[in-house]
Chain A
């Protein structure tokens, strides 16, 4: 019991502290690749601190849903993050929910944010809300099918079990089903975290924005909560990819030295994956909204192929 509480507290801190830093890292690395200097990697942290200290303006049209959404989103995202193993092979709360709960918790946060966007009455909000629900709905089957493929091989929907099953065997990433599932999930990651080529986190151009359009009316601490949730979600999805497909750095025990080494390796994995996101962002242009379904269809096809290769090349 105390162990669970300690692990929960530690991972909560890790998610809260590390997530803005990863967002900053991606932003800075992108700027460097575009031969700009870019802001410091700590800039998202400074933004959050500043936003939390500010007052805010709430639209006259908004109701209680607008006020509730940031808290529901933050809570659901953080809880989803606690179901994913980060440093230790056992996620703090995996006895309370696995990968299905994680996906549905993200859906809970999204549901409320999309409602809050409609609540403002501004047409930007409605536009963002509609687009967000479209993209996420289309990403869902690819996400689930890829997750199922891994889950079927591991014999579990528990993320800790999925990671542990992969540690036990020799590194299996080169199995075709794993590679295909990884590719599918990577595309889903891009779509779910609102990255180029699906969405552009750096723009406020009405023709293109999705996530930003939804939160246009938020300010102050509520905006900070939403930004923080977005960063946490990004970190959680990166962690999911890193630890389910490259689990070899996870430690099963609780020794301090092992945990420290594992933490360092975890950071390396996340930074490398974030680097891949940066590369995708800098080498691609933003897609037209109605080309996004095609990209997600590619992810779905990849996930289907992953499943079929599980069927062809074994797996329980």
Chain B
């Protein structure tokens, strides 16, 4: 075992132990009054320390390119635990821990406010528990440990989401989350058991050989079950309904974790499923993943455009980015099925890199949104505005996140989108049948998704932070605490570093693609001499985010310097903005978020099916209304009808089942008796 790998194992175990300690302390001592504040800070510090240790473990695991395993003796027959830190697990562990460290940093100041301050020990304990569960999800080596960790993660997330459970919206969000998670977990359990039966073991390591010998129909069933189950977690449309309900109502540090990494457990599951459990998948599976990606990406961003609740907007953008990740994964599955493992490795790396990037910028945006919503006292963008003057640093960090998620060069979002485009373009040449057209069309729809995302973040940043404050409270906003700013600064620096230094980071993904697809990527796409990335041969085309960044700075600073030098002769006067000669520009004159997205609402009305209600109230004549009631909105996403039908059916059957639940003791005794007889018969027969 290499030194790196041994270090990874030690750091991993340490981090997990710190999390466990934090979780136990918090949950046991949550009623403590005296010194609770200090203990809460210790719990946050535990989360931070655990995250740093786990980040080191992930990094060392990636660098060593080996597999670190640990097995516990079976406590009960078939109930052994095993931990497996392979390259894919290390990568996700790194993404999780990098975000978790920044979130923990943010939490020091954040936990002094709002609902968090009421029970800081309880939430600190659950935060540690959630991080421990997520760590175990990514590193579980067999089905039993995976499912236990998965359910623990769901439970911990549920309690954290429901922190402010006095609020009806929060209770609804939490309930929807747990219901959908249950349904997803059911499908995952079933799918994993199908695989386990074929493999004859519960160990993930053996799944691939088991899956290879499965009858095609059974393999397809297992694939579909697992894809849907993980799809619920990842928020693929139309399985996403819980996501925009649950993420916004959680405390903002938890929202950042939820959108940044908790939904990535679904992505992790899909990656395991497509590239580890199944060594080969037919082309239809790749097309299905690609389609899921395109639909989630496009519809996710379109619904985000219609949102005025800042955190809900960000939640819909998570769905969009999951879509972009799945475009990479889908292309990888297709390319592997056509027999191009090295191109598949590129597509997979594009998806994985976007996973990490999204964890960073979405975490950053949610933390920024948390600071803004706390300062303005509302999540509604229409009641914010002008925050940049009162909270310049938060605004700057949010702007970096907004630029990164919009895929603007030279930040990290641009690089992963560029890689996705290159993988898609290279895919066109790999086959001659009609499916090749799917690649460039996906690329064009990715371009549309990215352009709409840019429009949406012009809205999100512009309406929230720029121009005049729209309410008195927004005008009195105060810059957030130092640890909150530090948390955001770390993530913003990460977005910039992973953009400019992409050529340095991407070789780390070699270990992952090497283990899963047997092909590295850095050899074909990284040109470290020029600090550039290039298209895989035989295609050409390069991009160097570092050079672009430096040149952008140079070209921008040159005219700035010239202008500054000459400024002595010029006057810069401050004056009111033109507003058609009205007395003064007021906040009411400003364009609102609704107005900004109006054009999109009209153009995509076939999808949104907007409705509008205007009711003038008058006393004498309709020409002199006293007040006007205006309401506008859009219909929910496709698939909502299915959930309603399903809910009605469940309720109907529940009503019917009441007949056998009459509460009579005799009836229950009869049921037990009949069940016993049936089981005996079953036992005798087999």
Q: Chain A residues with Cβ under 8 A from B556's Cβ?
A: 71-72, 74-75
The stretch of B211-219, B306-314, B583-591, B654-662 that contacts the partner chain: B583-591
- B622 on interface, CB distance cutoff 8 Å: no
Measured between C-beta atoms, what is the minimum distance from B584 to chain A in Å? 10
CB pair A121 B585 closer than 8 Å: yes
- A95 on interface, CB distance cutoff 8 Å: yes
Determine which of A59, A71, A93, A133 lies in contact with B577 in the assembled complex, contact meaning CB atoms within 8 Å.
Answer: A59
Determine which of A119, A126, A304 lies in contact with B595 in the assembled complex, contact meaning CB atoms within 8 Å.
Answer: A126
Assuming the contacts A58-B574, A121-B590, asked whether A161 and B540 have C-beta atoms less than 8 A apart, the reply is yes
CB pair A61 B543 closer than 8 Å: no
**Which of A57, A149, A225 counts the most chain B CB atoms within 10 A?**
A57
CB pair A58 B575 closer than 8 Å: yes
Measured between C-beta atoms, what is the minimum distance from A299 to chain B in Å? 11
CB pair A122 B579 closer than 8 Å: yes
Q: Chain A residues with Cβ under 8 A from B461's Cβ?
A: 115
User: When each residue 145-163 of chain A gets 1 if its CB lies under 8 Å from chain B and 0 otherwise, what string results?
Assistant: 1001101100111100100
Q: Give Cα A7 to B409, complex, Å.
A: 23
Measured between C-beta atoms, what is the minimum distance from A27 to chain B in Å? 24
- A257 on interface, CB distance cutoff 8 Å: no
CB pair A311 B462 closer than 8 Å: no
Q: Give Cα A85 to B467, complex, Å.
A: 40
Q: Chain A residues with Cβ under 8 A from B403's Cβ?
A: 108, 111
* B contacts with A: majority SS: helix
How many chain B residues have a CB neighbour from A under 8 Å?
Answer: 89
- A97 on interface, CB distance cutoff 8 Å: yes
CB pair B540 A58 closer than 8 Å: no
Assuming the contacts A54-B570, A60-B574, asked whether A126 and B591 have C-beta atoms less than 8 A apart, the reply is yes
Q: Give Cα A78 to B553, complex, Å.
A: 12
Measured between C-beta atoms, what is the minimum distance from A162 to chain B in Å? 9
- B134 on interface, CB distance cutoff 8 Å: no
Determine which of A108, A140, A155 lies in contact with B448 in the assembled complex, contact meaning CB atoms within 8 Å.
Answer: A140
- Interface positions of A from 132 to 186, Cβ below 8 Å from B: 133-134, 136-138, 140-145, 148-149, 151-152, 155-158, 161
Q: Which residues of B contact A (CB under 8 A)?
A: 386, 388-389, 392, 399, 403, 406-409, 414, 417-418, 421-422, 425, 428-429, 434, 436-437, 440-441, 443-445, 447-448, 450-452, 454-455, 457-459, 461-463, 466-468, 530, 532, 535, 538-544, 547-548, 551-557, 559-560, 563, 569-579, 585, 587, 589-592, 595-600, 602-603
13 more CB-based (< 8 A) A-B contacts, given A122-B590, A126-B462: A57-B575, A79-B555, A96-B543, A96-B548, A104-B407, A107-B450, A108-B552, A118-B596, A120-B577, A121-B590, A126-B590, A134-B599, A220-B570
Some 22 contacts from A to B, beta carbons below 8 A apart, are: A59-B576, A60-B577, A71-B557, A75-B553, A95-B542, A96-B532, A96-B544, A97-B542, A100-B421, A107-B451, A108-B409, A111-B403, A121-B466, A122-B585, A125-B591, A130-B459, A137-B448, A145-B447, A155-B540, A156-B541, A157-B540, A217-B577
**Which 9 interchain pairs have the tightest Cβ spacing?**
A126-B591, A157-B541, A118-B462, A55-B571, A75-B556, A133-B455, A121-B467, A75-B555, A144-B447
